Structure 1
Amino acid sequence: MGLLEGKTLLVTGGSAGIGRATAIEAARQGANVAINYIGDDSIAQSCVQQIEALGRKAIAIKGDVAEPETAKNFVNSAVNALGRVDIFVSNAGICPFHAFLDMPVETFERTMRVNLHGAYWMVQAAANQMVAQGDGGAIVAVSSISALVGGEYQTHYTPTKAGVHSLMQSAAIALGRHGIRCNSVLPGTILTDINKEDLADPEKRARMAARIPLGRLGEPEDLAGPIVFLASDMARYVSGAALLVDGGALVNLQ
């Protein structure tokens, strides 16, 4: 029996990176999975195939999380295909690195719409479905270490991740009476598409890794376990919490 046996998990940004790793680990732990994605159809379908190879049901539903109607469509499509929503993972996000003083309005607004507004609409839609089902659920949002510390080229990004962290705290209060737990994970530097260009320089990558007590940058799979734990009944009395997953980076100030 896996930690998520018999559950149905939905994840946004599920075709690559942390979302994909979470979707596949959830399937290993017994869950059926629906992924939201916006990019390459073939990459999303390959994720579905990996999940099905593990003996679980899976569906990929395309949509831009920045559009409020995408949230309802994702949840409704997942319910139609898989029956219900037990776990929701809000993961989709972007970080187009840019200097502060000449930040384009479009870059700022797009980052806000995807990372913060998108999380809000998705979590709201999933929560409404859980409330209608009447037997609780778990919501996990992927925030960031950037919710707690600054970044010179992330002045548009860090506020969104602080907002996601805060959203989970408030949602934990709003939804607790319905038996719905809400928590966030705060990844450190994880090797995904979001920072691929920023970490393309080998010297910069080595410098970043050297600052981390565990001695390496994170992989998407490093987040899958903590997310599955928070989604599982092993964390049944954990709500409103934020779990750092950063290899010890935040505490290494000396």
Structure 2
Amino acid sequence: MLLEGKTVLITGASQGIGRAAAVECARAAANVAINYLGDEAEAESVVAEIRSLGREAIAIRSDVADPASAPAFVAAAVTAFGGVDVFVSNAGICPFHAFLDMPVAVLDRTMRVNLHGAYYMVQAAANQMVAQGRGGSIVAVSSISALVGGEYQTHYTPTKAGVHSLMQSCAIALGRHGIRCNSVLPGTIQTAINKDDLADPEKRARMAARIPLGRLGVPEDLAGPILFLASDMARYVTGAALLVDGGAFVNLQ
């Protein structure tokens, strides 16, 4: 019951990490509003699962890259549930591509979704939290890619470093309002974003072998850390970045 009586908003929550976090927050007694852009049936299945846990949920379809989508998503949650207590910025894309011939459209879209979208959404949620006057928690899903490079991720890694930096700056800007801002940095998590990249069994085995815990991550591995940062268990934690990577980052030798 860590989030009893609270409302949680999560972007990109029809699948993957967002979905796992939405369900986990519902298990912790929160009502949940999810944003999604893809399959409506997937989004509705998340809503159904949350309701099966005895909580309420809504799904709002919009593109986080559109600045107007942020205040609209927050307003829908306020109308449905009366306020915003926790905001999880999760929506992101990573169309793998080489650096030297990176299409302008791919770079631009990745920046707009991953970084600009996070900025718009966090800003809208923060404004609502400030207006409510009771504080809140903002959690951004960054990546281990904020700390390390990737040959086919030159457009992606800067956005995740930016999201991590955004949380650090927002922790300072919003601390006076009782709003905590933190990020989680997942390692290789098996989701739709890297399905094609991990399709080769040999590559999957090679990547898993580099991880001290001996396996690739799954979306549910992020749900607990996100819940912790969202809850009052982390009431004195702000501006922090939590690696959730099975030990991959520290395995340098």
TM (norm. structure 2) is 1.00
Pairs within 5 Å for 1:121-160: 121-160=120-159
Pairs within 5 Å for 1:42-191: 42-191=41-190
Q: Separation in 1 of the partners of 2:205 and 2:6? A: 40
TM-aligned CA deviation for residue 82 of structure 1: 1.1
TM-aligned CA deviation for residue 36 of structure 1: 0.1
Q: Separation in 2 of the partners of 1:14 and 1:75? A: 15
Q: For 1:159, what is the secondary structure of its paired residue?
A: helix
Amino acid at match of 1:122: M
TM-aligned CA deviation for residue 209 of structure 1: 0.3
Amino acid at match of 1:216: R
**Cα deviations by residue, 1:210-240 (Å, 9 ceiling, x for unpaired):** 0000000000000000000000000000000
Amino acid at match of 2:120: W
Q: Separation in 1 of the partners of 2:165 and 2:75? A: 26
Name the residue aligned to 1:237: 236
Q: Separation in 1 of the partners of 2:81 and 2:103? A: 41
Q: For 1:80, what is the secondary structure of its paired residue?
A: helix
Residues paired across the two proteins, number? 253
TM-aligned CA deviation for residue 208 of structure 1: 0.4
Q: Separation in 1 of the partners of 2:43 and 2:81? A: 17
Q: Separation in 2 of the partners of 1:40 and 1:96? A: 18
Q: For 1:218, what is the secondary structure of its paired residue?
A: coil
TM-aligned CA deviation for residue 200 of structure 1: 0.4
- 2:201 pairs with 1:202: yes
**Cα deviations by residue, 1:108-158 (Å, 9 ceiling, x for unpaired):** 000000000000000000000000000000000000000000000000000
TM-aligned CA deviation for residue 5 of structure 1: 1.0
TM (norm. structure 1) is 0.99
Q: Separation in 2 of the partners of 1:3 and 1:202? A: 39
**Cα deviations by residue, 1:152-186 (Å, 9 ceiling, x for unpaired):** 00000000000000000000000000000000000
**Cα deviations by residue, 1:12-38 (Å, 9 ceiling, x for unpaired):** 001000000000000000100000000
Q: Separation in 2 of the partners of 1:83 and 1:205? A: 44
Q: After the TM superposition, which parts of structure 1 deviate over 3 Å for at least 4 consecutive aligned residues?
A: none
Amino acid at match of 2:232: D
Name the residue aligned to 1:37: 36
Pairs within 5 Å for 1:8-27: 8-27=7-26
Pairs within 5 Å for 1:213-228: 213-228=212-227
Q: For 1:67, what is the secondary structure of its paired residue?
A: coil
**Cα deviations by residue, 1:1-58 (Å, 9 ceiling, x for unpaired):** x111111000000100000000000000010000000001111000000000000010
Q: Separation in 2 of the partners of 1:204 and 1:158? A: 20
Q: Separation in 1 of the partners of 2:47 and 2:143? A: 26
Q: Separation in 2 of the partners of 1:15 and 1:129? A: 23
Q: Separation in 2 of the partners of 1:36 and 1:78? A: 10
Q: Separation in 2 of the partners of 1:129 and 1:202? A: 46
Q: Can you give the 5+ residue segments of structure 1 that lack an aligned partner in the other structure?
A: none
Q: Which moved more, 1:2-11 or 1:142-151?
A: 2-11
Amino acid at match of 1:192: T
Percent identical among aligned pairs is 81
